[in-house]
């Protein structure tokens, strides 16, 4: 335990459950100096801030040596006996060239992790980011995309493992992916290829917008110096001309899908020497000649159909608008924006299929703050510029290769080097950092759980700390929900965000904020509370007074487009919703690993992503629909965090067949039983195992008069097997246990932007391994790419 922890915290810890303790951070690591001491001040992340309506900057994807913390043994976070070690690790990282303030190296010149630059724009702004990929792929295990090579046929095409990352303990039959059973493209691969997903953005999903189907390969390098040949200045002129044209288009038409083809000036025409698309065609052909791949061939087919291609080398210009809803009421008059971007805390991360897990774990995440009237209202209450002075918190589970690349244990389950529930959380790259507050002060914390795996269950703020939630997933809460959130525990699943107002107690001291790692609610009874961060209520500053010590009341008014989605809007889909089934099969390891045994497989509607079948969800632009998102995962229990791009959604029912309730006698019992009708306890509900129409939340209250919360990530409750009063399986006519999925029903408006995007599980190793699905939003009156993107 760090020596500088005040006694106050030690006293508070004394009253907590067993197993809760700060764990020792080892010094004297094998190849590094000691870890950065605990209790560092919360790091101020460098920011790129929009000016005059444009967020302009350069994001460089590079490889850097950073000091990472590892936990041993690989049991759960917070387990007694765990301790930490720090090692210099080469990671893939986003750098914001123009972002300020710069973060100096730690003592000794060591570089500790820093999230990607915080992007700060305002509704209505244009985003113009130059993305440069300068990763040196050779500093990592061989992970070059091979899909196109597979498409050429030959030997590699016959091997389902070809194209996947390979990891072997000396015998490929005992390594990944042969042992795990993954096949390209739904396997770990291509971690030197980059792109950016602007998570929470409501914008153009195509071309240079929030387009996650892009694959931007690293810059070629000088053979002698190894320096990347494509630099931020390489295409500066072409990109500057494009950004100017893009801004003009978007100012003229917020719904513009420009650019749509490689012939659109000034990025094209691709046949004209000197244009960026022309330069890309040359770079791709040179890349193919060097690597024997066929990126140019794949692009050319798409270009010939006047569509936007998928592959790029070294540089890419992102240009899109953060649309501002300007009407005072909703619905709007015909012809304009139907929704607009919600101002709030959004984020961005690497989203290359096959490498999202490792890239996000390396730290390729950052916060995207979109300001608007929400901020204006807060600043009017708390003082000018207040929101910009408030803490931004990027939670991540920093690490390197996923567990599956390490051999499982001889008896099955995680092997040496694996970490149950993943690495411990860090905040802004620091372990258990300290947030300074004045006594009684109210701060606004913008928290993003950018981890690729665990949810953070906030169930343990130290006594004395109070909080109220202002926003969920970057979307403001209505006042009634804001008020109901006071001091309530909450979960931030992987990908969730929350804006919370936190009020410090008047007594100076250290107050920890505790979380539990959770991928399913069933984890919580045994999950150790661990310290996420610490609040230092300072003794040497005067207490906050007036509004700086008060929770704003009422909450800032919501934009008018955040009205509840009504029954009338979703019309027939209430009784006939689209049903989307997430499912994980249990691991096939039952004994000593051997060929043919598999890790868990993750599918949606029985398919893995991009497996050659047209499984896309097809929606017509401006449709408003109700969907039922089911979880057919029965063990180990995993509440897959459902995420869909571009449009947020509202929840109208959650059915968790594993839910427990507290009965009148104070005992915790299952909410649902499959025997005795009526159920034996008034707190319980009976589900008829032979009648799926009864498998629903028996006490669901969908009160249309109460404003619902908007989400863009929501965990799908796990399923269960029906059992009788003795706990024995209830079987169907075929003799198999009746399995009951968990689900939620959601509603969303598929408005403003047509095109292709994805929905997926936000446990990113699941996404990489296939738990992703295309969503195609078509518009009869708009020219939108109708074809499915393919990996190759």
Asked if 744 interacts with another protein (CB under 8 A), we say no
Shortest distance (Å) from residue 163 CB to another protein = 12
Both structure tokens of 152: 């050429």
**From 165, 424, 520, 610, residue interacting with another protein (rule: CB under 8 A):** 165
Shortest distance (Å) from residue 166 CB to another protein = 4
Helix (H), strand (E), coil (C) string for 400-418: CCCHHHCCCCCCCCCCCCC
Shortest distance (Å) from residue 234 CB to another protein = 21
Q: Is 369 helix (H, G, I), strand (E, B) or coil?
A: strand
Cβ closer to another protein: 29 or 151?
29
Q: Which long-range contacts (CB under 8 A, 24 or more apart) does 153-162 make?
A: 160/184, 161/187
**Rounded distance, CA 11 to CA 17, Å?**
13
**From 2, 41, 44, 83, residue interacting with another protein (rule: CB under 8 A):** 83
**Rounded distance, CA 252 to CA 244, Å?**
12
Nearest CA among 371, 347, 375, 355 for reference residue 645: 347
Inter-axis angle of helices 295-304 and 276-291, nearest 10? 140
Cβ closer to another protein: 86 or 303?
86
Shortest distance (Å) from residue 26 CB to another protein = 4
**From 101, 105, 170, 780, residue interacting with another protein (rule: CB under 8 A):** 170
Shortest distance (Å) from residue 69 CB to another protein = 11
**From 141, 331, 554, 678, residue interacting with another protein (rule: CB under 8 A):** 141
Q: What sign has the CA pseudo-torsion 153, 154, 159, 165? A: negative
Cβ closer to another protein: 139 or 483?
139
Which range in 10-18, 29-37, 565-573, 705-713 contacts another protein by CB under 8 A? 29-37
Shortest distance (Å) from residue 37 CB to another protein = 16
Cβ closer to another protein: 400 or 515?
400
DSSP per residue, 469-492? EEEETTEEPPHHHHHHTTT--EEE
Shortest distance (Å) from residue 452 CB to another protein = 16
**From 34, 95, 103, 139, residue interacting with another protein (rule: CB under 8 A):** 139
**From 20, 127, 132, 166, residue interacting with another protein (rule: CB under 8 A):** 166
Shortest distance (Å) from residue 518 CB to another protein = 23
Asked if 90 interacts with another protein (CB under 8 A), we say yes
The interface mask with another protein, positions 37-66, x = CB under 8 A, is ----------------------------x-
**Rounded distance, CA 492 to CA 458, Å?**
8
Which range in 169-177, 430-438, 492-500, 613-621 contacts another protein by CB under 8 A? 169-177
**From 6, 37, 157, 169, residue interacting with another protein (rule: CB under 8 A):** 169
Cβ closer to another protein: 178 or 447?
178
Q: Is 393 helix (H, G, I), strand (E, B) or coil?
A: strand
Asked if 75 interacts with another protein (CB under 8 A), we say no
Nearest CA among 671, 669, 674 for reference residue 730: 674
Q: What is the DSSP letter of 708?
A: P
The interface with another protein within residues 238-267 (CB under 8 A) comprises none
**From 127, 400, 491, 771, residue interacting with another protein (rule: CB under 8 A):** 400
Which range in 162-170, 207-215, 477-485, 628-636 contacts another protein by CB under 8 A? 162-170
**From 80, 107, 154, 416, residue interacting with another protein (rule: CB under 8 A):** 416
Asked if 405 interacts with another protein (CB under 8 A), we say yes
Asked if 379 interacts with another protein (CB under 8 A), we say no
Q: Is 238 helix (H, G, I), strand (E, B) or coil?
A: helix
**Rounded distance, CA 574 to CA 577, Å?**
6
Which residues, 6 or more positions from 594, have their beta carbon under 8 angstroms from its beta carbon? none
* Whether the Cβ atoms of residue 606 and residue 583 lie closer than 8 Å to each other: yes
**Rounded distance, CA 178 to CA 172, Å?**
7
Which range in 70-78, 597-605, 667-675, 765-773 contacts another protein by CB under 8 A? 70-78
Which range in 132-140, 341-349, 585-593, 676-684 contacts another protein by CB under 8 A? 132-140
**Rounded distance, CA 161 to CA 176, Å?**
9
Shortest distance (Å) from residue 358 CB to another protein = 9
* Whether the Cβ atoms of residue 353 and residue 773 lie closer than 8 Å to each other: no
The interface with another protein within residues 590-649 (CB under 8 A) comprises none
* Whether the Cβ atoms of residue 715 and residue 217 lie closer than 8 Å to each other: no
123: left (phi over 0), alpha (psi -120 to 50) or beta: beta
The interface with another protein within residues 171-200 (CB under 8 A) comprises 171-172, 175
Give 282's Cβ-side CA count (13 Å radius): 8
Cβ closer to another protein: 166 or 442?
166
Asked if 525 interacts with another protein (CB under 8 A), we say no
Cβ closer to another protein: 4 or 171?
171
* Whether the Cβ atoms of residue 502 and residue 447 lie closer than 8 Å to each other: no
* Whether the Cβ atoms of residue 746 and residue 758 lie closer than 8 Å to each other: no
Both structure tokens of 236: 């500066």
Cβ closer to another protein: 31 or 734?
31
Which range in 410-418, 483-491, 610-618, 672-680 contacts another protein by CB under 8 A? 410-418
**Rounded distance, CA 615 to CA 609, Å?**
8
Cβ closer to another protein: 161 or 501?
161
**Rounded distance, CA 160 to CA 205, Å?**
31
**From 13, 70, 627, 649, residue interacting with another protein (rule: CB under 8 A):** 70
Cβ closer to another protein: 165 or 610?
165
CA-angle at 327, arms to 324 and 332, nearest 5°: 105
Place of tokens 């390490």: 406
Shortest distance (Å) from residue 149 CB to another protein = 14
* Whether the Cβ atoms of residue 78 and residue 19 lie closer than 8 Å to each other: yes
Q: What sign has the CA pseudo-torsion 163, 166, 170, 171? A: negative
Shortest distance (Å) from residue 419 CB to another protein = 8
The interface mask with another protein, positions 220-239, x = CB under 8 A, is ---x--x-------------
Q: Is 278 helix (H, G, I), strand (E, B) or coil?
A: helix
**From 157, 336, 417, 543, residue interacting with another protein (rule: CB under 8 A):** 417
| Number of neighbouring beta carbons within 10 Å of residue 490 | 16
Both structure tokens of 279: 């330069």
Asked if 138 interacts with another protein (CB under 8 A), we say yes
* Whether the Cβ atoms of residue 274 and residue 235 lie closer than 8 Å to each other: no
* Whether the Cβ atoms of residue 483 and residue 351 lie closer than 8 Å to each other: no
Which range in 95-103, 166-174, 247-255, 628-636 contacts another protein by CB under 8 A? 166-174
Asked if 142 interacts with another protein (CB under 8 A), we say yes
Q: What is the DSSP letter of 329?
A: S
Number of residues that bind another protein (CB under 8 A): 44
Asked if 412 interacts with another protein (CB under 8 A), we say no
Shortest distance (Å) from residue 432 CB to another protein = 19
Nearest CA among 620, 626, 622 for reference residue 574: 626
Give the interface with another protein as residue ranges (CB under 8 A): 26, 28-31, 65, 68, 70, 72-74, 83, 85, 87-90, 137-142, 165-172, 175, 223, 226, 400-401, 405-407, 415-419
């Amino acid at each position: 335990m760090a020596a500088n922890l005040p006694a106050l915290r030690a006293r508070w810890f004394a009253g907590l459950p067993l197993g809760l303790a700060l764990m020792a951070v080892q010094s004297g690591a094998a190849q590094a100096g000691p870890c950065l001491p605990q209790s560092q001040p919360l790091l101020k992340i460098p920011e790129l801030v929009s000016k005059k309506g444009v967020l302009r900057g350069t994001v460089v994807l590079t490889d850097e040596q950073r000091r990472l913390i590892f936990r041993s043994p690989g049991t759960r976070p917070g387990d007694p006996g765990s301790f930490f070690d720090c090692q210099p690790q080469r990671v893939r990282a986003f750098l914001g060239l123009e972002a300020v303030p710069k973060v100096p190296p730690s003592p000794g010149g060591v570089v500790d992790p820093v999230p990607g630059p915080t992007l700060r724009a305002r509704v209505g702004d244009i985003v113009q980011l130059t993305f440069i990929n300068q990763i040196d792929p050779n500093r990592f295990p061989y992970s070059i995309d091979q899909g196109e090579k597979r498409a050429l046929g030959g030997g590699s095409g016959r091997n389902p493992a070809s194209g996947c990352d390979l990891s072997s303990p000396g015998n490929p039959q005992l390594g990944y992916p042969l042992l795990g059973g993954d096949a390209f493209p739904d396997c770990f691969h291509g971690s030197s290829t980059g792109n950016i997903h602007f998570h929470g953005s409501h914008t153009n999903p195509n071309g240079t917008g929030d387009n996650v189907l892009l694959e931007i390969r690293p810059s070629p390098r000088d053979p002698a110096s190894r320096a990347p040949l494509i630099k931020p200045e390489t295409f500066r002129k072409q990109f500057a001309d494009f950004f100017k044209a893009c801004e003009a288009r978007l100012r003229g038409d917020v719904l513009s899908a420009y650019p749509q083809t490689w012939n659109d000036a000034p990025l094209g025409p691709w046949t004209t020497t000197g244009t960026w698309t022309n330069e890309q065609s040359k770079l791709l052909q040179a890349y193919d000649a060097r690597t024997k791949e066929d990126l140019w061939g794949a692009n050319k087919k798409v270009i010939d159909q006047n569509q936007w291609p998928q592959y790029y080398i070294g540089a890419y210009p992102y240009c899109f608008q953060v649309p501002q809803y300007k009407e005072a009421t909703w619905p709007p008059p015909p012809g304009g924006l139907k929704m607009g971007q919600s101002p709030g805390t959004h984020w961005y991360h690497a989203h290359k299929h096959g490498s999202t897990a490792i890239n996000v774990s390396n730290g390729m995440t950052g916060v995207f703050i979109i300001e608007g009237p929400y901020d204006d209202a807060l600043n009017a209450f708390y003082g000018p510029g207040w929101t910009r002075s408030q803490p931004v918190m990027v939670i991540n589970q920093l690490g390197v290769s996923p567990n599956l690349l390490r051999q499982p244990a001889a008896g099955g389950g995680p092997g040496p080097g694996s970490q149950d529930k993943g690495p411990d959380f860090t905040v802004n790259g620091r372990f258990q950092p300290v947030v300074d507050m004045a006594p009684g002060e109210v701060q606004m914390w913008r928290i993003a759980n950018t981890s690729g795996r665990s949810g953070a269950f906030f169930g343990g703020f130290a006594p004395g700390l109070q909080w109220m939630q202002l926003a969920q997933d970057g979307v403001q809460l209505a006042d009634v929900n804001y008020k109901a959130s006071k001091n309530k525990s909450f979960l931030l699943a992987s990908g969730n965000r929350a804006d919370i107002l936190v009020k410090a107690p008047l007594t100076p001291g250290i107050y920890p904020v505790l979380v539990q790692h959770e991928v399913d609610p069933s984890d919580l009874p045994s999950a150790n509370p661990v310290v996420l961060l610490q609040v230092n209520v300072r003794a040497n500053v005067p207490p906050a007074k007036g509004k700086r010590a008060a929770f704003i009341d009422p909450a800032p008014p919501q934009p008018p487009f955040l009205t509840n989605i009504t029954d009338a809007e979703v019309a027939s889909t209430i009784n006939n919703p689209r049903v989307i089934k997430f499912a994980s099969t249990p691991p096939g390891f039952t004994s000593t690993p051997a060929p043919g045994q598999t890790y868990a497989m993750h599918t949606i509607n029985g398919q893995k992503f991009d497996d050659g079948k047209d499984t896309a969800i097809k929606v017509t632009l401006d449709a408003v629909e109700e969907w039922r998102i089911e979880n057919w995962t029965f063990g180990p229990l995993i509440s897959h965090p459902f995420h869909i791009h571009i449009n947020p959604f509202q929840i109208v029912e959650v059915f968790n067949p594993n839910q427990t309730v507290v009965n009148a006698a104070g005992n915790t019992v299952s909410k649902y039983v499959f025997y005795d009708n009526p159920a034996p306890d008034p707190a319980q509900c009976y589900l008829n195992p032979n009648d799926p129409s009864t498998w629903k939340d028996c006490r669901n209250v969908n009160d249309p008069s109460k404003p619902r919360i908007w989400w863009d990530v929501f965990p799908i409750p796990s399923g269960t097997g029906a059992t009788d009063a003795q706990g024995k399986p209830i079987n169907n006519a075929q003799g198999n246990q009746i399995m009951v999925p968990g689900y939620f029903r959601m509603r969303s408006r598929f408005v403003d932007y047509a095109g292709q995007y994805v929905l997926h599980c936000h446990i990113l190793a699941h996404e990489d391994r296939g738990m992703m699905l295309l969503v195609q939003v078509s518009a009869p009156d708009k020219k939108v790419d109708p074809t499915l993107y393919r990996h190759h």
